[in-house]
Structure 1
Amino acid sequence: MGKRIIYMDHSATTYTKEKVVDAMIPYFTRHFGNPSSIYSIARESKQAIDTARAQVATALGANPDEIYFTSGGSESDNWAIKGVAYANRKRGNHIITTTIEHHAVLHTCRFLEKEGFTVTYLPVDRYGRVDPADLEKAITDKTILVSIMYANNEIGTLEPIPELAAIAQKHKVYFHTDAVQAIGNIPIDVKAQNIDLLSLSAHKLYGPKGVGALYIRNGVRIENLIHGGGQERKKRAGTENIAGIVGCGAAIELATADIAGHNARIRSMRNRLMEGILDTIPHARLNGHPTERLPGNVNISFEFIEGESMLLWLDDEGICASTGSACTSGSLEPSHVLLATGLPVEISHGSLRLTLGDANTEEDIDFVLEVLPKVVSRLRDMSPLYQKTTKDGGSHV
């Protein structure tokens, strides 16, 4: 019998639910026609795409003709930011974002700076939240786009998106939000919340990898990112990933069917896990907002240890998690998100992110609360700094 695996990295990716897979399978086999063709099996493919488009639109409070399918969140972010920037360059060259965005946004903005655009990176408070007053001050007559994520992928903090979007609308500036982490966790109505563009990815909500969508409000001026054929109403070229699109539609419909019920169960487990860790492990602190956060996100920094070592020891116990440090990507730099909240470098390196999902159980929480304190204790026993500091009665936090 194999080792028990406890998956607590749902912010990285989720499994694909059986109902989603079942919806996708016919479009690999029986209904394989190219939707751009005119014969019957092609029309079946086109109808499936139309159905998925309607499912995504319903989940967002949008119109179906405002939904464009992409390869995922990164492409959607790139298209939203570059597309608006290039299409509106004659009107202005100023973009506003934040210091804690996903790299799909930050790296796109850095690229545009080389193209002659000016980018303002708004700061965040110690919880990772943007002050709407800072956005108000940053907008100029050259501002063409504001891009602020709905929920942070590392620390789980929720941004005051309706308020921020209303400020952008008041100044006639387009507002984009990377909602990859928020969909299925937060009720979103793009019309009511004044959102002009929104990015999402299917694999974060129990759908397949390699497919996502970009909501573009009708009337938004945007340049194409991918040129070629006339797919996606001539805005996004390339033969459609029919099975993936079907999976995206099925997944978002399932994920948004009962957000309140889903959140109640996940949040209950999260609170028990979060409180259990903070109550049993000394020299630990919660990262992100204590209440305005994703229901399944737990991000905690532990002094005197390295996050990478913690992950490896947890993996030996069958626990899948991630760290606030970027070391897993080959960088020695700690998380840009944690540093933006004012967390010292040495403490940022000892961060752990546990993100819960539909497959997690109360027994999983019990197991992590049993194993994690032992792992942290063993690692600290090997730390000369911990031995010296605790002997002196000090702490960095």
Structure 2
Amino acid sequence: MIFLDAAATTPVRREVLEAMWPYLSGEFGNPSSHHSLGEAAANALAGARAAVAGVLGCRPGEITFTSGGTEADNLAVKGIALSRRAKDPSLDRVLLSSIEHPAVEESALYLQRVHGFTIDVVPVDHTGLVTPEAFRAALQPGTAVASIMYANNEVGTVQPVAELAAIAAESGVPFHTDAVQAAGWLPVRVQDLGVDALSLSGHKLGAPKGSGVLFAKSRLRLEPLVHGGGQERGRRSGTENVAGAVALATALTLANGEQADTVGRVVELRDGFIRRVLDRVPGAMLTGHPEQRLPSIASFCFPGTSGESVLLELERLGVLCSSGSACAAGSDAPSPVLTALGIPAEVAQTAVRFSFNSAITAAELEEAATAVESAVLAVRGLSRS
């Protein structure tokens, strides 16, 4: 099988397994316990926090470990908005783009439904880009938090986050970015991006599922989602997942160190794969920005097919991929991301996303391109000549 669904998840790296193993076996202590086992766990947690902070270029105290990117997004959007409104009741608006991950979108909808917030939505252009002009126009007085994802998980479009964060800062609005897909591929030093909060997920980087991080500036107050023992400086109560934190820190450090050597190679392979699919498959449409996109994502619509049928045929041919966000798997509705780009619903339902990890090879992508041609033609009731 050729695995081209790395945007959904990645295999756990051996180095990560080896780093986390002691905290799943002999070093099993609770980091809040004041004895030798607890102190060993606390030291490991502190080391993981410092390692993540080193990659992001922030202070260790600005790192909160979570159960994943979804919780980190929830804590950022809800936590910032509720805390700011508690201090100033006029701050009752949330700003996000029309192509945010459901973790951000549903957090905003919760704030609207339960707490009476108003949601302002920044439209994207046909490539999925949030322009600075559109962002500035959508930024209203009373905005408690703005959240724009760094790179889209379905079409791969990369947003000008530093420009958008600077515009938000001019109005004194905290800016959060979901960087779950960007980590390992794009720069994530928070000072360079100018963001106030940033979310990461371990299982997109070679760590196990169930590990995540929220960076939030120390001056930024957050209303916690989980109350209890006051762990993570009161931002996220509950006994910390020490092994998960060590795993995420190890995976992030490895990916960051390899980035310079892998990005250019994967971009070249991605572009070659895109050319082959567009050349070989009649009517194939690339979705997302043609250039300002993640190295790891190539997404298409194949009009005249069913995306799910193409996926099944590709799996039969030995290629594993997806029709879009794994978080929407099982839904037969057209992707809201694609319709926000202006793609008609009937065409959006033909979408297929191919996403790569850094180990992808030219031979695998050549074989995959041939399989795509065969699969689409088979679904259209044709055969390769």
> Could you tell me the TM-score, scaled by structure 1's length?
0.93
Q: State the partner residue of 1:113.
A: 112
**More off after superposition, 366-375 vs 76-85:** 366-375
Q: State the partner residue of 2:81.
A: 85
Once the 2 structures are TM-superposed, how far is the Cα of residue 358 of structure 1 from its aligned partner?
A: 2.5
Whole-angstrom CA distance in 2 between matches of 1:204 and 1:351: 21
Q: State the partner residue of 1:182.
A: 182
Q: What's the secondary structure of 1:96's corresponding residue?
A: strand
1:311 corresponds to which letter in structure 2?
Answer: L
Once the 2 structures are TM-superposed, how far is the Cα of residue 327 of structure 1 from its aligned partner?
A: 11
RMSD value over aligned CA atoms? Answer: 1.5
Whole-angstrom CA distance in 1 between matches of 2:99 and 2:355: 18
Whole-angstrom CA distance in 1 between matches of 2:354 and 2:237: 38
Q: State the partner residue of 1:390.
A: none
Whole-angstrom CA distance in 2 between matches of 1:60 and 1:108: 24
> Which of 40, 46, 49 in structure 1 is aligned with 2:45?
49
In 2 relative to 1, CA 46–328 (structure 1 residues): closer, same or farther, beyond 3 Å?
Answer: closer
1:54 corresponds to which letter in structure 2?
Answer: A
| Residue 14 (1) aligns with residue 13 (2) | no
2:350 corresponds to which letter in structure 1?
Answer: G
Once the 2 structures are TM-superposed, how far is the Cα of residue 221 of structure 1 from its aligned partner?
A: 1.8
Whole-angstrom CA distance in 1 between matches of 2:303 and 2:234: 53
Q: State the partner residue of 1:38.
A: 34
Q: What's the secondary structure of 1:322's corresponding residue?
A: coil
CA contact (8 A) 1:174 1:196 kept: yes
Deviations 1:148-193 (A, max 9, x none): 0000000000000000000001110000000000011101221122
Whole-angstrom CA distance in 1 between matches of 2:328 and 2:22: 37
Whole-angstrom CA distance in 1 between matches of 2:375 and 2:33: 58
Q: State the partner residue of 1:24.
A: 20
In 2 relative to 1, CA 181–326 (structure 1 residues): closer, same or farther, beyond 3 Å?
Answer: closer
Once the 2 structures are TM-superposed, how far is the Cα of residue 328 of structure 1 from its aligned partner?
A: 6.6
2:331 corresponds to which letter in structure 1?
Answer: S
CA contact (8 A) 1:211 1:244 kept: yes
Deviations 1:52-96 (A, max 9, x none): 111111111111110000000000000001111111114210110
> Could you tell me the TM-score, scaled by structure 2's length?
0.96
Q: What's the secondary structure of 2:214's corresponding residue?
A: strand
2:97 corresponds to which letter in structure 1?
Answer: T
2:30 corresponds to which letter in structure 1?
Answer: N
Q: State the partner residue of 2:309.
A: 309
Q: Show the 5 A alignment for 1:32-181.
A: 32-89=28-85, 90-91=87-88, 92-114=91-113, 115-181=115-181
Uncovered stretches (5+) of structure 1, i.e. residues with no partner: 383-397
2:185 corresponds to which letter in structure 1?
Answer: N
Deviations 1:276-310 (A, max 9, x none): 00011110111001111000110011110000000
Q: Show the 5 A alignment for 1:195-234.
A: 195-234=195-234
CA contact (8 A) 1:325 1:333 kept: no
Once the 2 structures are TM-superposed, how far is the Cα of residue 231 of structure 1 from its aligned partner?
A: 1.1
CA contact (8 A) 2:199 2:213 kept: yes
In 2 relative to 1, CA 212–169 (structure 1 residues): closer, same or farther, beyond 3 Å?
Answer: same
CA contact (8 A) 1:96 1:119 kept: yes
Instruction: Give the number of equivalent residue pairs.
Output: 379
Uncovered stretches (5+) of structure 2, i.e. residues with no partner: none
Whole-angstrom CA distance in 2 between matches of 1:232 and 1:358: 32
